[in-house]
Amino acid sequence: MASRKEELRAKESSRGRRNVLVTAAVAALGGLLFGYDTGIVASAILFIRHDFDLGDFGQGAVVSAVTLGAIIGAPIAGTLADRFGRRRMILIASVIFIVGSVGCAAAPNVEVLVVARVVLGIAVGLASATCPVYIAEVAPVAARGQLVTLFQLAVTVGILVAYLVGLAFESSGGWREMLGLGALPALALGAGMLYMPRSPRWLVMIGERSEARTVLRATREDETEVDDELAEIEATLQQDQGTYRDLLTPAMRAALTVGVGLAILQQITGINTVIYYAPTIVEFAGISSSSSAILASIGVGVVNVAVTVLAIRLLKNHGRRQLLLVGVAGMVLSLVSLGIAFMLGTDSGATAPIAIVSLMVYVASFAMSLGPIFWLLNAEIYPLRVRAKAAGVGTMSNWTFNFIVALTFLPLLAAVGNSAAFFIYAGIGVFTWFFCMLLVPETKDMPLEEIEQEWDRRAGVEPAAAEPPV
Ligand code: BGC
């Protein structure tokens, strides 16, 4: 029979596991809002365009306002998350999400609508820079990959829910309802975060050691490891909080090359051309009925969610690098076959099926690699004293290139033709594969504090933690 002490330990261990899972799931709601608010406009714009009598420019402004807001919000998040803490930052983002959603739903004219969408975008930028970092800092090392990936899972669910809500309101043309509904997950995020703990690593950074210890005790399965973890965090914090200038040291340049490089590559390998233009791509392949277009979007959305769930399972036993290399190879192959499908021309009966299968394989490959793993690495590879700021820079780069790809996709198709455009994305995919192969470190099972030392090693400097305390 288990002794009283063992029973108690088993109870604490399952309580620790449950607490950390709930914390990660609540913070991941920031991802749901990211997916929903970027996804819903594809359906809403069809009716907004009509109500406000918008031309191409007006439609473009409504659609891209969230991305522009995110480019503004992401870098601000770094400074604020250091000053006020990660948890409070997410709370602030949730209030901005609510204000933005209500503003969109009530907008009397297109000007107010665009401003409200920029406000929403600022919240998306704040949340996408902070939620993954918060989860990575609360998570125990063995579960960090899986828990941070809940954020990407929520992004994909948000996109899928947006397609479905768009369908549900299609007959009524209720774009105000579509946009206003985003306030609900925002309320849940805000209310939930009120009960979540502060990041133990941020607490150590501001000198609140005993509260950090309390949080670690509540979120770890094995209490005996809490003091070791705390000591390890403290050992890396022998200097004050970092500034933006600290991002320029050789070690940080090495880390940012990987983080910002992946941020850009995640976008310029073309994922959002498929997420947002799936119906157009299917149409170019020769299928023009509106139900097939809708099915293409829903198919892409379902595959994206399902394979992200699979990625969470795979991350338990496989390294980040392994998933990246396999997934990016799949993206390259499917982009090449998409290019070939378009070369065959719409007269060929083979074009449409090859294009549809290629689209699905492409999304599946992204969902097991660059999708989740960019957000994971962006949250875990930077040293604590500059983590929030560096993650903000990575996030801003991601949104900037998201914007550029969205803007250039249709002109690119017009300029070089459909198949050449997909061959160009495939070429960038090949570059991405070598980038991952040569530069991305394996961080699985490494405590955040050890990852910091990897950059010092790469830059040829003595790891900070090895220096005697000053
Ligand atoms: C990307 C988004 C993309 C989404 C698709 C995210 O990781 O940052 O730009 O729309 O994945 O699932």
SS3 of the chain: the string is CCCHHHHHHHHHHHHHHHHHHHHHHHHHHHHHHHHHHHHCHHHHHHHHHHHCCCCHHHHHHHHHHHHHHHHHHHHHHHHHHHHCCHHHHHHHHHHHHHHHHHHHHHCCCHHHHHHHHHHHHHHHHHHHHHHHHHHHHHCCHHHHHHHHHHHHHHHHHHHHHHHHHHHHCCCCCCHHHHHHCCHHHHHHHHHHHHCCCCCHHHHHHCCCHHHHHHHHHHHCCCHHHHHHHHHHHHHCCCCCCCCHHHHHCHHHHHHHHHHHHHHHHHHHCCHHHHHHHHHHHHHHCCCCCHHHHHHHHHHHHHHHHHHHHHHHHHHHHCCHHHHHHHHHHHHHHHHHHHHHHHHHCCCCCCHHHHHHHHHHHHHHHHHCCHHHHHHHHHHHCCCHHHHHHHHHHHHHHHHHHHHHHHHHHHHHHHHHCHHHHHHHHHHHHHHHHHHHHHHCCCCCCCCHHHHHHHHHHHHCCCCHHHCCCC
- Residue 469 is predicted with a pLDDT of 39
Nearest Cα neighbor of 130 from 167, 97, 92 is 92
Q: Of all protein residues, whose CA lies closest to atom 8 belonging to ligand 1?
A: 371
pLDDT reported for residue 467: 44
Going from the Cα of 262 to the center of ligand 1, the distance in angstroms, rounded, reads: 13
Closest C-alpha to ligand 1, atom 3: 272
For residue 14, the model assigns a pLDDT of: 83
Cβ 395 under 6 angstroms from ligand 1: no
Query: Separation of 14 CA from ligand 1 center, angstroms?
Result: 32
pLDDT band at 417, cuts 50/70/90?
very high
Is residue 464's pLDDT more than 70? no
Q: 176: which 2 tokens?
A: 């105000």
Whether 335 shows a pLDDT value over 90: the answer reads yes
Q: What is the pLDDT of residue 10?
A: 73
pLDDT (mean) for 138-163: 96
Where is pLDDT greater, at 282 or 398?
398
- 192-221, pLDDT tens digit by residue? 999 999 999 999 999 999 999 999 999 998
371 within ligand 1 shell (Cβ under 6 A) = yes
The pLDDT > 90 percentage for the chain reads 76
Round to the nearest angstrom and report the end-to-end CA distance of the chain.
Answer: 50
Is 271 close to ligand 1, i.e. is its CB under 6 Å away? yes
Which of 63, 163, 269, 271 has most ligand 1 atoms within 8 Å of its beta carbon, as the pocket-test mutant?
271
Mean pLDDT (the chain) is 92
Q: What is the reported pLDDT for 215?
A: 96
Greatest mean pLDDT range, 37-51, 255-269, 399-413:
255-269
Q: 393 pLDDT exceeds 70?
A: yes
Q: How far is the CA of 153 from the centre of ligand 1 (A)?
A: 10
Residue 335, classified by CB atoms within 10 Å of its CB into exposed (0-12), middle (13-18) or buried (19+), is buried
Condensed to tens digits (0 to 9), the pLDDT of residues 225-251 reads 899 999 989 888 766 677 888 888 999
What number is the average pLDDT over the span 94-116? 98
> Residue 6: exposed, middle, or buried by beta-carbon count in 10 A (0-12, 13-18, 19+)?
exposed
Cβ(275) – ligand 1 distance below 6 Å:
yes
Q: How far is the CA of 404 from the centre of ligand 1 (A)?
A: 14
Interaxial angle between packed helices 250-268 and 448-459, expressed in degrees from 0 to 180 and rounded to the nearest 10: 110
What is the Å distance from ligand 1's center to 433 Cα? 18
Ligand 1 center to 272 CA (angstroms): 7
Pocket test for ligand 1, best of 67, 71, 128, 272 (most atoms within 8 A of CB): 272
Distance 106 CA to ligand 1 centre (A): 28
CA dihedral 431, 433, 434, 435 (to 10 degrees): 80
Better-predicted residue by pLDDT, 439 or 347 = 439
CA 230–ligand 1 middle distance (angstroms):
34
Whether the pLDDT of residue 470 is over 70: the answer is no
pLDDT at 322 (0 to 100): 97
Sign (positive or negative) of CA dihedral 320, 386, 139, 267: negative
- Extract the tokens encoding 139: 């998570």
Question: Ligand 1: distance of its center to the CA of 60 in Å?
Answer: 20
Nearest of 79, 198, 71 to residue 124 by alpha carbon: 71
Please tell me if the CB atom of residue 156 comes closer than 6 angstroms to any atom of ligand 1: yes
Closest atom, ligand 1, to C-alpha of 370: 7
Question: What Rg value do the Cα atoms of the chain yield, rounded?
Answer: 22
Judge if the beta carbon of residue 219 lies within 6 A of ligand 1. no
Token pair listed for 129: 């820079």
Please tell me the predicted confidence (pLDDT) of residue 346: 74
For 357-392, the pLDDT digits (tens) are: 999 999 999 999 999 999 999 999 999 989 999 999
| Whole-number pLDDT of residue 179 | 97
pLDDT of residue 276: 82
pLDDT in tens, 300-311: 999 999 999 999
Instruction: Report, as an integer, the average pLDDT of 48-75.
Output: 95
Q: How far is the CA of 243 from the centre of ligand 1 (A)?
A: 29
- Asked whether the beta carbons of 374 and 262 are under 8 A apart, the reply is yes
For residue 21, CA distances in Å to 59, 157, 197, 437 come to: 40, 18, 12, 31
pLDDT mean over 28-53: 94
Q: Which atom of ligand 1 is nearest to the CA of 276?
A: 10
| Protein residue whose Cα sits closest to atom 2 of ligand 1 | 272
